[in-house]
């Protein structure tokens, strides 16, 4: 039997969201014997079609309508549900973005199917059923969830998988025209009067080297050494939840289940004990170096290189060396 996976591809200002590409790459690599399909909802496909080159899709469904230019959860739910009922995928996935987290439950509710949110890992069992793993209890535990209904439906956390380009480029493009008699009703229920797009911050999570500090730095002033050091080596700074809660660093740079997941080539953890919720956010790093005074800290057992020393002393030494 042939299985197919459908990925909802979210676009933002005519750009495909990174998480959508990450999901396609993971499905392509891990979901054997599955046809990997995408669906995009847009007012005009020609401007974005180029971006689907080498994305790894076997088939792309396009739902194109000028009324669907802006995201409207009721309208998007309606058209996507129709497509799912028609093509009956075995797995349906979307990114756990702000819009995805709003849209997915609505579709699940309409189709009366199960939904697993914010997954950090997805695998198929021997019968092609989805095993969806997600953090729970604030990252203190992981749960693997299965669903009795089809399609098996999950949203995926940004950064959980790595984006990859594929050599093959023979994506079949299919236009899908849903029934849209309810569209005007949906659009009249709600009106966006003003939108302020927040200053797009540079995506520090993409950095090849990340330097992260935790409680072991002992003060906000010492945490400043993290910025100084990362600046000197062209890396990006990050912080543990404890450091953020103490006000030493902004939540924007928090790593872990309630912060960001990262996958740098090198993760340097300075004075971080490595609570479970932190460790699960750095799982995909290529190499982890931990510097901690406590040899029994959890991070010293999971890092590739564990060095027992005082993080502040090492930072000062590094900064001295690099400044000269």
Partner 1 sequence: MSFKIIVFIKQVPDTDDIRWTEQNTIQREGLESVINPYDIGAIQLAKKIRLLLEDCKITAVTMGPLQAKAALKEAIAMGCDNGYLLCDKKFAGSDTLATAYVLSQFIKTEANDFDLILSGYQAVDGDTAQTPSSLAQKLNIAQITSVKELIEINKEYSLWQKETPEVTQNIKIYHPALISVNINNAEILPDINGYIKAQTTDITVLSAADIEADITKTGFAGSPTQVKKAFRPEITRATERLSFENNGQISDYIIKLINKCKEQDEV
Q: How far is the CB of 91 from partner 1 (least distance, A)?
A: 14
Nearest distance in Å: CB 169, partner 1: 24
**Residue 32 or residue 194: which is nearer to partner 1 going by CB?**
194
Residue in 170, 321, 323, 324 binding partner 1, rule: CB under 8 A: 321
Binding of residue 245 to partner 1 (CB under 8 A): no
Q: Judge residue 272's burial from the number of C-beta atoms within 10 Å of its C-beta, 0-12 exposed, 13-18 middle, 19 or more buried.
A: buried
Residues 6+ apart with CB under 8 A from 168: 54, 56
**14 contributes a contact to partner 1 by CB under 8 A:** no
175 binds partner 1 (CB under 8 A): no
Interatomic CA distance for residues 100 and 108, integer angstroms: 12
Per-position x/- string for 196-215, each x denoting binding to partner 1 as judged by CB under 8 A, each - no binding: xxx---------xx------
Residue 233 contacts partner 1 per CB under 8 A: yes
Q: Within positions 111 to 140, which residues make up the interface with partner 1, using CB under 8 A?
A: 112-118, 131, 135-140
Contact partners, residue 126, CB within 8 Å, separation at least 6:
none
Is position 227 an interface residue for partner 1 (rule: CB under 8 A)?
no
Question: Closest by alpha carbon to 146, among 165, 126, 125?
Answer: 125
Burial 178-201 (b: 16+ CB within 10 A, else e): bebeebeebeeeeeeeeeeeeeee
Q: What is the rounded CA–CA span in Å between residue 156 and residue 162?
A: 12
What DSSP letter does each residue of 85-119 carry, written as one string?
HHH--SEEEEE-SHHHHHHHHHHHHHHT---EEEE
Q: CB nearer to partner 1: give 72 or 171.
A: 72
Q: Minimum CB separation from partner 1 for residue 136, in Å?
A: 6
Q: Using CB under 8 A, pick the residue from 14, 47, 54, 109 that binds partner 1.
A: 109
Using a 10 angstrom Cβ sphere, with 0-12 exposed, 13-18 middle and 19 or more buried, the burial of residue 11 is middle
Q: Please identify, among the stretches 45-53, 59-67, 166-174, 185-193, the one whose residues bind partner 1 according to the rule CB under 8 A.
A: 185-193
**318 forms part of the interface with partner 1 (CB under 8 A):** yes
Work out which of 2, 32, 50, 192 binds partner 1, going by CB under 8 A: 192
Least spacing, CB of residue 182 vs partner 1, in Å: 10
Q: Could you tell me the two tokens for 178?
A: 């849903």
Binding flag, residue 70, partner 1 (CB under 8 A): no
The correct pick among 49, 87, 173, 306 for binding partner 1 (CB under 8 A) is 306
CA–CA distance, 150 with 233 (Å, rounded to integer): 49
C-beta of 18 vs 57, nearer to partner 1? 18
- What is the enclosing helix (H) or strand (E) of 226? helix 220-233
Nearer to partner 1, 30 or 233 (CB): 233
> What are 227-234's contacts with CB under 8 Å, separation 24+?
228/315, 228/319, 229/315, 229/318, 229/319, 229/322, 232/318, 232/319, 232/322, 232/323, 233/209, 233/322, 234/209
Closest separation in Å from C-beta 172 to partner 1: 31
104/226 with CB nearer partner 1: 104
Unique residue bearing structure tokens 């072991």: 216
Residues 19-58 close enough to bind partner 1 by CB under 8 A = none
Q: Is 70:187 a contact under the CB 8 Å cutoff?
A: no
Contact pattern for partner 1 over residues 254 through 283, marking x by CB under 8 A: -----------xx-x-------xx-xx-xx
Q: How far is the CB of 316 from partner 1 (least distance, A)?
A: 8
């Amino acid at each position: 039997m042939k299985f197919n996976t459908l990925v909802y591809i979210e676009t933002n200002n005519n750009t495909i969201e990174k998480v959508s590409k990450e999901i396609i790459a993971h499905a392509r690599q891990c979901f054997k014997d599955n046809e990997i399909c995408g669906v995009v909802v847009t007012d005009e496909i020609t401007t974005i079609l180029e971006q689907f080159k080498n994305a790894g899709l076997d088939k792309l469904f396009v739902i194109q309508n000028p009324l669907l230019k802006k995201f409207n959860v009721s309208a998007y739910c309606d058209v996507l549900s129709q497509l799912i009922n028609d093509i009956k995928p075995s797995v349906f996935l979307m990114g756990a973005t702000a819009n995805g987290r709003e849209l997915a439950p609505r579709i699940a509710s309409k189709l009366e199917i199960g939904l697993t949110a914010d997954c950090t890992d997805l695998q198929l069992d021997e019968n092609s059923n989805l095993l969806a793993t997600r953090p729970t209890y604030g990252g203190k535990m992981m749960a693997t969830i299965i669903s009795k209904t089809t399609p098996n439906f999950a949203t995926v956390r940004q950064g959980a998988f790595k984006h990859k380009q594929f050599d093959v480029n023979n994506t079949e493009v299919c236009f899908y025209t849903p029934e849209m008699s309810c569209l005007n009703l949906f659009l009249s229920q709600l009106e966006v009067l003003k939108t302020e797009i927040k200053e797009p911050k540079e995506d520090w999570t993409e950095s090849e080297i990340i330097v992260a500090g935790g409680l072991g730095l002992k003060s906000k002033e010492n945490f400043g050494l993290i910025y100084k050091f990362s600046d000197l080596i062209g890396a990006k700074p990050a912080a543990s939840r404890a450091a953020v809660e103490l006000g030493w660093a902004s939540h924007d740079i928090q790593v872990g289940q309630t912060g960001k997941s990262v996958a740098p080539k090198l993760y340097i953890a300075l004075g971080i004990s490595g609570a479970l919720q932190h460790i699960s956010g750095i799982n995909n790093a290529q190499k982890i170096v931990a510097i901690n005074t406590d040899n029994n800290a959890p991070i010293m057992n999971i890092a590739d290189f564990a060095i027992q020393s005082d993080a502040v002393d090492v930072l000062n030494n590094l900064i001295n060396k690099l400044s000269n």
